[in-house]
């Protein structure tokens, strides 16, 4: 447990705390909200190559669905089907699990940010790097009236709305032309509907339950993701937006 705690602090908690301290110290008036936005943009910029590959991989998976269906409907053995499926992924340089990997990376970041604000934002000198100075001014009132240290119903609602648009602009599943559809098609359609209409409510609830700062991080992250998905569509012309 001590080893895991040390790794957690070394890789996530301390870096986020120090970067936030730096941004708070350079932002006029020490506005923590602006600092959180800058922190989010920095995190998304670092993860940009991975998330871009994830978006493009999801789009390619949709294009490969007809080929995958042919392999599945063939009378080949399970081992041969698995081999051909792997070769198809390798040929088109795609990974069906890339989206999960990106999500697994972002969840610890959200939890680490939550712990930064858990007991009130305090920049303890012992937790800061030698080249990072503790901010003189710490203003928790974002834009002068939104207290990021407490729950914010307004930011929680915006977080849910931004999550809806983030899901809306995700690559849509390519469904079978068969009017009856397949189990895979039904499952993909159901997941798409839940991501678009159910998950935003879950995000809003979580954002409200944690703090306004984490909700602001979520909002900024979703807006960045929407822009990235539109960029991927323009660059690769792979995404289908309805």
Bridge-partner residues for 141, per DSSP?
A: 147
pLDDT of residue 223: 92
Mean pLDDT rounded to a whole number for the chain: 76
Bridge-partner residues for 31, per DSSP?
A: 139
Q: Spell out where 82-169 has E strands.
A: 141-142, 146-147
pLDDT of residue 238: 44
Q: What's the CA gap between 67 and 61, in Å, rounded?
A: 10
Average pLDDT over residues 80-102: 70
pLDDT of residue 200: 86
Bridge-partner residues for 146, per DSSP?
A: 142
pLDDT of residue 37: 93
Q: Specify whether the CB–CB gap between 142 and 148 falls below 8 A.
A: yes
| Greater model confidence, 42 or 236 | 42
Q: What's the CA gap between 107 and 24, in Å, rounded?
A: 23
| Greater model confidence, 4 or 147 | 147
DSSP string, 9-21: IIIIIHHHHHHHH
Which tens digit of pLDDT belongs to each residue from 66-83?
777 777 777 777 777 777
Q: Specify whether the CB–CB gap between 95 and 52 falls below 8 A.
A: no
């Amino acid at each position: 447990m001590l080893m895991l705690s040390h790794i957690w602090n070394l890789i996530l908690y301390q870096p986020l705390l120090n970067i936030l301290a730096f941004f708070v110290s350079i932002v006029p008036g020490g506005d923590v909200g602006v600092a959180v936005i800058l922190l989010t943009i920095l995190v998304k910029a670092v993860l940009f190559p991975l998330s871009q590959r994830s978006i493009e991989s999801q789009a390619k998976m949709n294009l490969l669905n007809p080929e995958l269906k042919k392999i599945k409907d063939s009378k080949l053995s399970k081992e041969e089907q698995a081999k051909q499926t792997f070769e198809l992924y390798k040929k088109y340089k795609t990974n069906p699990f890339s989206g999960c990997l990106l999500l697994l990376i972002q969840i610890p970041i959200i939890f680490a940010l939550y712990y930064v604000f858990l007991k009130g934002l305090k920049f303890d000198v012992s937790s800061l790097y030698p080249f990072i100075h503790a901010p003189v001014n710490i203003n928790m009132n974002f834009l002068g009236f939104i207290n990021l240290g407490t729950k914010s119903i307004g930011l929680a609602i915006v977080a849910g709305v931004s999550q809806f648009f983030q899901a809306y602009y995700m690559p849509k599943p390519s469904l079978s032309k068969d009017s009856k559809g397949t189990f895979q098609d039904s499952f993909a359609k159901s997941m798409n509907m839940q991501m678009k209409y159910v998950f935003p409510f879950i995000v809003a609830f979580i954002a409200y339950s944690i703090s306004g700062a984490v909700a602001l991080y979520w909002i900024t992250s979703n807006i960045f993701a929407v822009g990235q998905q539109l960029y991927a569509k323009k660059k690769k012309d792979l995404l289908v937006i309805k």
